[in-house]
Every structure is written in structure tokens, then in C-alpha cells.
């Protein structure tokens, strides 16, 4: 018996929201495509097939197709997901509806501008080490010791790929444009835990201690549910809220 796995030959129906906000004649509409399903097919593969075989004008973002760059985040049947990690076999009826992530500026079709939002968020929460400048620095200088368990906790939060799924799923963000969101909270906690950063809880309070920060979170925690990297957003948001509530 051959080890090759046969394709299902099921017909998929793909509905894609198409709209170019820079075109005076473009109007939002769904375009529908039908194609045969193959074994282990992902939505990313589907989109490439559509662009190659049916619609070369279709716009979507991707870089690596390995689930680590976050570029192909989109709404897939109403849920923020990465196209490269979403299998078509997970949709029993074979109907898949694709829309761009909300909360971000639409570029075209499924392509949104997460980069400028993430850059603005990084500046807003001052996403860099704050420490007293040392008089002498040298590239051969021995790095400051960090306990392995602390380093592991910091590195865990550094696994965020800035895909925007947590932001797109956030009810508060969709209602409040200036809300920092889970990606920003994750970044703040990453520096709170880093022993190289000398900021106090009061310093971080100035950044996220208001209704557009951690106290605006309604604790619906869709961000935690949709994170493709399974980051501990629920526990870290709770940690940040406790810290900010007692900051002096």
C-alpha cells in the first residue's frame, strides 16, 4: 500500500471580501471562487491558487508561510487566524469566508497595515530598555547575569509575532480607537519583568494606567483565545492590572 495520502477532491467555496479604498470606483463586495481541495491544504495555499488561476488582482499579505511572521492574519469565517496555519479540512461544509482584520487601516482586499500600528504602539509604551547610562561600554563586556527562569519568562513574551489577531478580536479596541490592546500589554509586561529595565510600576502606570490602557480591558479575553502563538495573555493582563492598581 502506498504511503502517499490521497486528496479529498472536495470542492471548496471561497468567499473573499474585495475592496480597494484608493480606487474611486471600487465598492466592497464578495468575490466567490470554487476549487478542489487537496490534502493538508491551508488557506494560504488557497489564496495563492486563487491569485494564480482566477484573480491576479487579489491582495493579501504573506512572508514565510511558516506561522512565525504574522503577515497573513485575516478574518477566516469570522475569527482572526493566520492563513498559513489554518487548514481547509477544519471547515466541514467547505465554505470559507475571508475578510481583512478590523481595527487596522485597510490597504486592499485582505491586506491591512499592521506595521504602522505596531510601531505606534511600541513608541506609546516606550518599548525599549530604560536604564541609567553607563560611563563605559565595550562590546567585550560581560553581560549582566539574569536568572534562567526570569530570562525564560521574558523570552516567552518576546515570541509575539505582531500578527494583529489579538487586536482584531478585542471588543474594547473596536469601540475605542486609542486602546492599547493585548499586544501592547504583552510588551509592557515583557519590560516589567526584564531586570535590565529600571522603570518602576509608577512609570508604567503613566503609560497604561487609564481607560485606554489596562483598566479599559473588559476581560472578554478573546485575545487569549485567538493568539496563534498561545501566549499567556490572560495571566499577563491580570498581572499588569494588579500591578497598576497598586502602583504608587
Of 206, 6, 228, 3, the closest CA to residue 124 belongs to 206
Same domain, 184 and 211: yes
234, burial (CB in 10 Å: exposed 0-12, middle 13-18, buried 19+): middle
CATH number, domain with residue 215? 1.10.1060.10
Of 55, 37, 169, the closest CA to residue 93 belongs to 37
Q: What angle do CA 243, 247, 248 make, to 5 degrees?
A: 165
Find out whether 50 and 16 touch, Cβ atoms under 8 Å: yes
pLDDT surpasses 50 at 135: no
Residues 244 and 215: their CA atoms lie apart, in Å, by: 9
Same domain, 87 and 119: no
At residue 145 the predicted structure's pLDDT band, cuts being 50, 70 and 90, is confident
In a domain, 16, yes or no: yes
Same domain, 40 and 101: yes
Position 142 scores a pLDDT of 77
At residue 64 the predicted structure's pLDDT band, cuts being 50, 70 and 90, is confident
Joined together, the cell numbers standing for residue 131 give: 536604564
Residues 238 and 242: their CA atoms lie apart, in Å, by: 6
Range from 80-94, 128-142, 147-161, 229-243 carrying the lowest mean pLDDT: 128-142
Residues spanned by the domain of 46: 11-111
Domains: count for the chain: 2
Average pLDDT over residues 201-217: 97
In a domain, 4, yes or no: no
More confident residue, 235 or 66: 235
Q: What is this structure's pTM?
A: 0.90
Phi, psi (deg, nearest 5) at residue 54: -125, -40
Find out whether 13 and 95 touch, Cβ atoms under 8 Å: yes
In a domain, 6, yes or no: no
Same domain, 167 and 237: yes
Residues 10 and 41: their CA atoms lie apart, in Å, by: 11
Same domain, 152 and 232: yes
Give the three-class secondary structure for 107. Answer: strand
Q: What is the CA radius of gyration of the chain?
A: 21
pLDDT surpasses 90 at 8: no
What is the β-pairing status of strands 95-99 and 11-18?
Answer: parallel
Which residue is associated with the grid cell 505596531? 118
Same domain, 94 and 170: no
Average pLDDT over residues 138-164: 90
pLDDT surpasses 80 at 158: yes
- Could you tell me what percent of the chain has a pLDDT over 90? 86
Which residue is associated with the grid cell 512609570? 203
At residue 6 the predicted structure's pLDDT band, cuts being 50, 70 and 90, is very low
Considering 1-15, 79-93, 132-146, the range whose residues carry the highest mean pLDDT is 79-93
Tell me the torsion sign for CA atoms 52, 58, 64, 65: negative
Same domain, 123 and 217: yes
In a domain, 94, yes or no: yes
In a domain, 199, yes or no: yes
Element (H, E) at 161: none
Give the three-class secondary structure for 188. Answer: helix
In a domain, 215, yes or no: yes
pLDDT surpasses 70 at 4: no
At residue 2 the predicted structure's pLDDT band, cuts being 50, 70 and 90, is very low
Same domain, 180 and 66: no
Amino acid at each position: 500500500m502506498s504511503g502517499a495520502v490521497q486528496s479529498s477532491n472536495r470542492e471548496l467555496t471561497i468567499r473573499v471580501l474585495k475592496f480597494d479604498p484608493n480606487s474611486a470606483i471600487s465598492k466592497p463586495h464578495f468575490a466567490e471562487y470554487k476549487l478542489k481541495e487537496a490534502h493538508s491544504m491551508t488557506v494560504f495555499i488557497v489564496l495563492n491558487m486563487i491569485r494564480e488561476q482566477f484573480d491576479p488582482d487579489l491582495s493579501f499579505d504573506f512572508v514565510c508561510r511558516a506561522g512565525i511572521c504574522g503577515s497573513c492574519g485575516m478574518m477566516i469565517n469570522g475569527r482572526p487566524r493566520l492563513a498559513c496555519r489554518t487548514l481547509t479540512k477544519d471547515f466541514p461544509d467547505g465554505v470559507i469566508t475571508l475578510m481583512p482584520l478590523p481595527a487596522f487601516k485597510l490597504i486592499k482586499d485582505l491586506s491591512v497595515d499592521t506595521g504602522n500600528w505596531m510601531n505606534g504602539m511600541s513608541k506609546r509604551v516606550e518599548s525599549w530598555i530604560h536604564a541609567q547610562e553607563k560611563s563605559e561600554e565595550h562590546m567585550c563586556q560581560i553581560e549582566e547575569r539574569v536568572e534562567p527562569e526570569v530570562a525564560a519568562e521574558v523570552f516567552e513574551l518576546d515570541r509575539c509575532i505582531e500578527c494583529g489577531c489579538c487586536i482584531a478580536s478585542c471588543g474594547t479596541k473596536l469601540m475605542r480607537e486609542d486602546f492599547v490592546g493585548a499586544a501592547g500589554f504583552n510588551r509592557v509586561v515583557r519590560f516589567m519583568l526584564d531586570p535590565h529595565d529600571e522603570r518602576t510600576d509608577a512609570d508604567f502606570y503613566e503609560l497604561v494606567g487609564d481607560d485606554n490602557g489596562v483598566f479599559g480591558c473588559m476581560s472578554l479575553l478573546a485575545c487569549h483565545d485567538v493568539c496563534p502563538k498561545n501566549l499567556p495573555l490572560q495571566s499577563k493582563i491580570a498581572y499588569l492590572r494588579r500591578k497598576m492598581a497598586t502602583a504608587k
